[in-house]
């Protein structure tokens, strides 16, 4: 989570919602929904960003990610928080300045832009912060 004051992006928080292995899918999705709703109540965001789903070689994994993504979109919609959807290359371009940047470059730029001592972990958190940075710049430029 970031805040944008003028053209300056300020770090607020990051994390990852993890579900218990072995839970039925519907219980995992409900846990994600409830956990994310608590986060929305705590931080009260007014805008959000999400990376578009990229279907690679592992379609089974992509389906699970799509289901979780749908749960997040519902939670955001219920709170009337607009979502800016970004493709991976746009995030790389917005954070690193190169649309073909590799994961390590993006992670290091996220760390530098937000003034963090270490690269945010896990990788998903760093990816989400990259999307937030890119969206913050786009939103600031459109105001």
pTM of the predicted protein model: 0.90
Q: Label residue 137 by pLDDT band (50, 70, 90).
A: confident
Residues 6 or more apart whose Cβ sits within 8 Å of residue 141: none
Largest pairwise CA distance in the chain: 46
Tokens representing 143 are: 């105001």
Residue 138's pLDDT is 86
Tell me the per-residue pLDDT of 7-43, one tens digit each, with 9 for 90 and over.
Answer: 789 999 999 999 999 999 999 999 999 999 999 999 9
Predicted local confidence at residue 57, as pLDDT: 67
Report all structural domains of the chain as residue ranges with CATH numbers, in order of start. 2-142 (3.30.420.10)
The token pair that represents 5 in the structure block: 């004051």
Contact 64, 32 (CB under 8 A): no
Within 10 Å of residue 43's Cβ, how many Cβ atoms? 11
Which pLDDT score, from 0 to 100, does residue 4 have? 87
Pair type for strands 83-86 and 48-51: parallel
What are the strands, taking DSSP E only, across 1-143?
2-5, 8-11, 48-51, 83-86
For position 143, what pLDDT does the model report? Answer: 66
CA-wise closest residue to 51 among 8, 83, 82, 75:
83
Condensed to tens digits (0 to 9), the pLDDT of residues 55-113 reads 666 677 788 889 999 999 999 999 999 999 999 999 999 999 999 999 999 999 999 99
């Amino acid at each position: 989570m970031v805040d944008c004051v003028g053209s300056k992006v300020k770090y607020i928080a990051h994390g990852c919602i993890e579900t218990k292995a072995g839970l039925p899918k519907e219980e995992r999705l409900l846990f994600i929904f409830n956990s994310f709703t608590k986060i929305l109540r705590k931080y009260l965001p007014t805008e959000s960003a999400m990376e578009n789903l990229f279907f690679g070689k592992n379609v089974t994994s992509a389906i699970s990610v799509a289901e979780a993504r749908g749960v997040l979109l519902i939670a955001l919609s219920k709170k009337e928080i607009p979502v800016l959807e970004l493709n991976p290359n746009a995030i790389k371009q917005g954070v690193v300045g190169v649309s073909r940047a590799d994961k390590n470059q993006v992670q290091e730029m996220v760390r530098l832009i937000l003034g963090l001592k270490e690269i945010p972990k896990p990788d998903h958190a760093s990816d989400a912060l990259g999307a937030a940075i890119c969206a913050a710049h786009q939103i600031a430029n459109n105001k």
